[in-house]
Structure 1
Amino acid sequence: MSLKKVCVVYETVPCRALGLVLRYVGGRVLVTEVLPESQAELDEVVLAGDVLDEINGRSLRNACGGQAGAALQKLKGQPLSLRLLRWRWHDGGVFAPLLPYLKVLKEKDPGFQLQHGPRRAARRDPRRLQGGRLLYKLRYLGRTGVGKAGGKEVLEQGIPAVLRRRLPAREVLFDVKETEVLIQEKTSSKVLFRYAYPEISCVGRRLGSSNLFAFCIAVSPESPEGSTFDCLVFESNSEQECEEIIKRIAAGFKHTEWFV
């Protein structure tokens, strides 16, 4: 029986906490829960019931209690590469070699449930999935300079300033990735903007504008006079979508650590 069908490598960015609850059963490290709003849930790879087999090439077979947690703690702030054994076989049933471990886990933790798919994906609108990623179809309304202040309060001035210019809206695909925000032209897929989270100073929307949101980015940080900021404004398709995008960008601020 080939393990290729159940093995997967999960690579993630440096983060404060991965968000996995682990249990040791017979020398195996089983994931019992993927915590809500954690980096692991955002990445949508690990499912409750999967086996954590390796961390950065280090085997966890015959692991004793706490070994995986200690390894993750030592690697805190570094990129992680995790090798997983999927609980789910290609026919949708449980991968047979894992049945004894899952049976013992269920006895120890009666409330445990196998996770059949990412929770976030189940809550989202599948019509925007493209190439395995969620791309929002938005309208880019323009950008304007907002001076040397890059806090959320400048959005109240930046958004109306862009609207007053009445520039033609551009249809874009907006991707909130693990380490950056990527905006492409919808028709050509040409990359218009790409900003890592440390380049974004704030994100939010203006009161009374339910479908509009904006974020500010630093411009010419190497300037002797210091950084100035630009405000980029987008129109979403609904208030719910607008809030979802803002929260996902905010989660990027929260979960990503950068070291120099």
Structure 2
Amino acid sequence: MAPKDPLLGTLKVCVLNLQSDGEAVTDTNPHLASCCELIELVLRKGLQQPVLSLVQRDYWQCFEQLPLQDACGRFSALSLALEQSRVCRKLLSSQGRGRYLLRLALSRKVLAQFISHLLHTPRVLEWYSPVKSILRNEEFMEPFMSLLLVLTHMEFKLDMENCSFLDESWVLPVCEVYEVVPCREVGMVLRYLSGRVFVLELTPGGQADVDGYIRPGDIIDEINGTSLRNSKCGQAGVVMSRLKGCPLSIRVLRWRAHDGTVYRPLVKLLRALRTENPALQLGPASSQQSAVTERRPSPSQCLHDGRIVYIVQYLGRVNIGMFGGKEVLQNAIPQVLQKNLPSKEVLLDMKETHLTCTDRNSKKNLFQHHYPEISCVGRFSQPDYTIFAFCVADTPDPTQSTGFCCVALKAGTIKECEEIVSRIAIGFKHTEWFV
């Protein structure tokens, strides 16, 4: 009977589980971390440590020693993957770089090539024990390479930017991007701990508090592509001040894992944060976030991509001249109503950077405006308090400006009308508004 290695048997089961869905493998696949960990164990099994070196050798050093240029000195796909892993600023250890490389090789379908190249590089292969290593056992190598070839033919769609915890764990945190419109301040109190930037609390009424996207306990991983991994105290503030007046794209690592529990590598750090700040409350960042995520939509609302979208009536629009301040709304709204146009049931979707209005029946996009384009927004004072309107430039081309136009809509209830007006106004802080 041919000898068997328990690692290969377990890896085979893992690969079959990955195949079972028949879809692209993403970071949420429950078998991905186990599969990667088993490949890592195979690459570490029998790896001998140098006698006179203080640095412990890992499989990352094996890959680093591979000659990955062709005869003409050109870089191959393998060398490009290796270099991308080497320069990633979010990784601080050989373990993290090795894990990043394995994920990258799976995404680019080159993992089998890496291992094959290692097997044909004697000076590196000699680092492995001929007795213990799977890589130097001909009977084990054939089934191992077969499994790698199966993985090569599978589709892996992995978020390579979510790599800040690969130094510690194969299981990665929930990673999301928070888009912030230009504003005076985001309104976050930060705490630097173990090279990570934690959100300690949110400033009441600040942009982050109003948006309800970031929660205390979350980690700011990067801002507009600038990594904050292993950052020093105050570095996030320096980055934000440099980007003042610009839209921000903040990559956030959630303190909750995919299954809703605390992300395990953060347990000790969150405990330390609570010791320092007993008032720290982990959970939704604001009451508005709780309302958005927990309450069910009312009959005049619906869910779209996890956001509440308002079902309102589109009444029409009218040109109001060259002045778009809030004073014109009380005269502009009646001008729209006097046209007696048939109203349309529309979906009003207020995103982080802009709002869109879509015909509910035809699904046609009626208009889209970024918040900085809106000069004022307000609610009709009488007789119908559910009517609201906002003013925008009447043409997107400033060189051919024909003034401003007023867009009027009707909400389901007075409370909903006030809520919509407030959300549009907060979208860009210096927009004039009133309720």
**TM-score range normalised by the length of the shorter chain:** 0.7 to 0.9
Structure 2: gaps (5+ residues) = 1-168
Matched, 1:54 2:222: yes
Equivalents in 1 of 2:249, 2:393: separation in Å? 31
Q: Deviations over 1:100-122 (max 9, x none)?
A: 11111111111111124663232
- 8 Å contact kept, 1:17–1:255: no
- TM-score w.r.t. the length of structure 1 is 0.86
- 8 Å contact kept, 1:39–1:255: no
SS at match of 1:161: helix
Q: Call closer, same or farther: CA 1:56–1:205 in 2, change over 3 Å.
A: closer
Q: Deviations over 1:26-57 (max 9, x none)?
A: 33221111333333234443211112233334
Which 10-residue stretch deviates more, 85-94 or 52-61? Answer: 52-61
SS at match of 1:37: coil
Structure 1: gaps (5+ residues) = none
Other-structure match for 2:332 = 158
Other-structure match for 1:212 = 387
Matched, 1:64 2:239: no
Which 10-residue stretch deviates more, 194-203 or 76-85? Answer: 76-85
Which residue of the other structure, out of 419, 425, 435, is the alignment partner of 1:244?
419
Other-structure match for 1:200 = 374
SS at match of 1:135: strand
Equivalents in 2 of 1:81, 1:197: separation in Å? 16
SS at match of 2:233: coil
Aligned-partner residue type, residue 425 of structure 2: A
Matched pairs, number: 254
Tell me which stretches of 4 or more aligned residues in structure 1 moved more than 6 Å: none
Aligned-partner residue type, residue 342 of structure 2: P
Other-structure match for 2:362 = 188
Other-structure match for 2:399 = 222
Which residue of the other structure, out of 246, 254, 258, is the alignment partner of 1:90?
258
Q: 5 Å matches for 1:1-260?
A: 1-116=169-284, 119-124=287-292, 126-127=296-297, 128-208=302-382, 209-220=384-395, 221-223=398-400, 227-254=402-429
Q: Call closer, same or farther: CA 1:36–1:162 in 2, change over 3 Å.
A: same
Aligned-partner residue type, residue 263 of structure 2: F
Which 10-residue stretch deviates more, 101-110 or 123-132? Answer: 123-132
- 8 Å contact kept, 1:16–1:255: no
Q: Deviations over 1:142-186 (max 9, x none)?
A: 222223332222222222222223221100011222222211101
Q: Deviations over 1:89-145 (max 9, x none)?
A: 233221121111111111111111112466323234532222222211000112222
Aligned-partner residue type, residue 62 of structure 1: N
* Percentage of identical aligned residues: 48
SS at match of 2:399: coil
Equivalents in 2 of 1:84, 1:168: separation in Å? 44
Q: Call closer, same or farther: CA 1:181–1:107 in 2, change over 3 Å.
A: same
- 8 Å contact kept, 2:195–2:229: yes
Query: How well do the aligned residues superpose, as a CA RMSD in angstroms?
Result: 2.4
- 8 Å contact kept, 1:17–1:38: yes
- 8 Å contact kept, 1:38–1:255: no
Please tell me whether Structure 1 or Structure 2 has the larger radius of gyration of its CA atoms: 2
Q: Which structure dedicates a bigger proportion of its chain to helix? A: 2
Equivalents in 1 of 2:420, 2:225: separation in Å? 34
